[in-house]
Structure 1
Amino acid sequence: MTMLIPLYVHPLVDPDAWRAVAAAGPFVTAIVNVHNGPGGDLDASYVEATELLRAARVPMLGYVDLSYQRRSEDEVERDLVAWHRYPVEGIFFDQVPTDPAALLTVARLTRRTGGMVVLNPGTRPHPAYAPLADLICTFEGSWAAYRHLPDEPDWPNAAHLIYGVDSWDLPEAHARMTRLAGGGLVTDLDMPLPYCGVPSWLRATAAVQR
């Protein structure tokens, strides 16, 4: 089970969120997003924050937006190169297309990552996408929607991103995700910014460890 933690908050805005992820160590995999990707310039705050996570042995993935193939391959490749400035161990591709026509493009990009690959189409793509990644996020949505999905296992490398979970439903949501997928996220943060911070359960765990 790979627990993905999208960490889309600046280290200076919410340093406690970064410390909570560091406290979790290799139990979680952080998705780092400087500015809708690696950003244009090296950010010293992110250098320091990612070094904190590396010292805690937290695996990190760099965020890259495919924008459902609206971005050119050259733009995406520049992001892949720019992530070499930070100690990430793979790439989280967001807004991944789902149709066979984009398959070869996505395959070329995943081969250039040199590490762990997570694809996030947010829904189940064409089955030919399955071999391209370590994990594929075949569900991204609210707990209200997730709890009404059929209680059947997804693809072996499927991940589910579930937000808006009431605090009293967190154990049920974790158990359901564990039955249905090979990884993902359960968070009580909700729209419009469900990834701007970390789940309350992670903060609570870090507080107990201090």
Structure 2
Amino acid sequence: MMLLPLYVHPLADPGAWDALCRGGDRPTAIVNVHNGPGAGRDEVYTVATARLHRSGVRMLGYVDLDYGNRANGEVWCDIVGWSQYPVGGIFFDQVPADAAGLRYVTQVVRAVRGSVVLNPGTRCLPGYAALADVVCTFEGPWESYVDAPPAYGLPDGRDWPNAAHLVYGVPAEQLGTATALLLSRAPHGLVTDLRAPLPYEGLPSSLRARAAVR
């Protein structure tokens, strides 16, 4: 599964949203209205997400856990807030990875109806993998990913069966190589040529190109 953080406003880059509707690939788009669902319904996002839904694009709503520092009530309000949009689950960002945070994450995921994706962005305790459909165990630039040791704790060198890797800053001419490397390590994730500090404000050039020829 391709996870696609789509953190660009539909009016700021309508071409990115249009391309997802036209493209043959169907990534799971992570929608982020205002560091979450925002305080109230955003009509622009209402229209844009409804269009993606009609086009068959699966979506997850973004919720920030601030590495376990947000109050449960705040997190639950965000989860409920996403019920205003046609999302099929929640993408929890800035997830803790240690034993101290495991109980906290166990509590907040219980409020989710639908799919759960956790993003600690690094290797975490196995207990986290049991709480989610997908766990992002790597998030970082291509330079770090290509030099990372291939062993993730399993005998064949691959990551957990529900792991995902998010790799940004890939040179456009190496997107194919990066995709092959990711798939040799984990079953889910993203490679994009967009760079930090805003690697998710738009689509990878490969997705735009495939949508343009349809």
Distance 1:208 1:80 in 2: 37
User: Which residue, 152, 172, 180 being the options, matches 1:175?
Assistant: 180
User: Which residue, 188, 192, 203 being the options, matches 2:193?
Assistant: 188
Q: Which amino acid aligns with 1:148?
A: D
Q: Which amino acid aligns with 2:100?
A: A
Question: Would you tell me which structure has more helix in proportion to its own residues?
Answer: 1
The question of whether the paired residues in 1 share the 8 Å contact of 2:79 and 2:112 is answered with yes
Query: 1:207 is matched with which residue?
Result: 212
Which residues of structure 1 form unaligned runs of 5+?
A: none
Query: 1:155 is matched with which residue?
Result: 160
Instruction: Give deviations 1:86-119, integer Å, cap 9, x for gaps.
Output: 0000000000001112212211211211111100
The question of whether the paired residues in 2 share the 8 Å contact of 1:91 and 1:113 is answered with yes
The question of whether the paired residues in 2 share the 8 Å contact of 1:98 and 1:125 is answered with yes
Residue 178 to residue 38, structure 1, CA distance change in 2 (3 Å): same
**Deviation of 1:25 (Å):** 5.7
Q: Secondary structure at the match of 2:203?
A: coil
Distance 2:50 2:95 in 1: 28
**Deviation of 1:24 (Å):** 3.0
Query: 2:20 is matched with which residue?
Result: 21
Once structures 1 and 2 are overlaid, which stretch shifts more, 8-17 or 19-28? 19-28
> For the aligned residues, what is the CA RMSD?
1.0
**Deviation of 1:26 (Å):** 6.3
Q: Which amino acid aligns with 1:153?
A: R
Where do residues 1-210 of structure 1 align in structure 2 (5 Å cutoff)? 2-24=1-23, 27-151=26-150, 152-209=157-214
Q: Secondary structure at the match of 1:197?
A: coil
Distance 1:127 1:185 in 2: 22
% identical aligned pairs:
57
Q: Which amino acid aligns with 2:196?
A: M
The question of whether the paired residues in 2 share the 8 Å contact of 1:26 and 1:58 is answered with no
Q: Which amino acid aligns with 2:163?
A: A
TM-score with structure 2 setting the length: 0.95
Distance 1:146 1:21 in 2: 26
The question of whether the paired residues in 1 share the 8 Å contact of 2:26 and 2:56 is answered with no
Q: Secondary structure at the match of 2:48?
A: helix
Distance 1:24 1:131 in 2: 32
**Deviation of 1:126 (Å):** 1.1
Distance 2:106 2:187 in 1: 21
**Deviation of 1:23 (Å):** 2.1
Instruction: Give deviations 1:55-91, integer Å, cap 9, x for gaps.
Output: 0111100000000011100000000000000000000
Q: Which amino acid aligns with 2:189?
A: G
The question of whether the paired residues in 2 share the 8 Å contact of 1:26 and 1:57 is answered with no
The question of whether the paired residues in 2 share the 8 Å contact of 1:50 and 1:86 is answered with yes
Q: Secondary structure at the match of 2:35?
A: coil
The question of whether the paired residues in 1 share the 8 Å contact of 2:3 and 2:29 is answered with yes
Q: Secondary structure at the match of 2:213?
A: helix
TM-score with structure 1 setting the length: 0.97
The question of whether the paired residues in 2 share the 8 Å contact of 1:25 and 1:57 is answered with no
Q: Which amino acid aligns with 1:201?
A: S
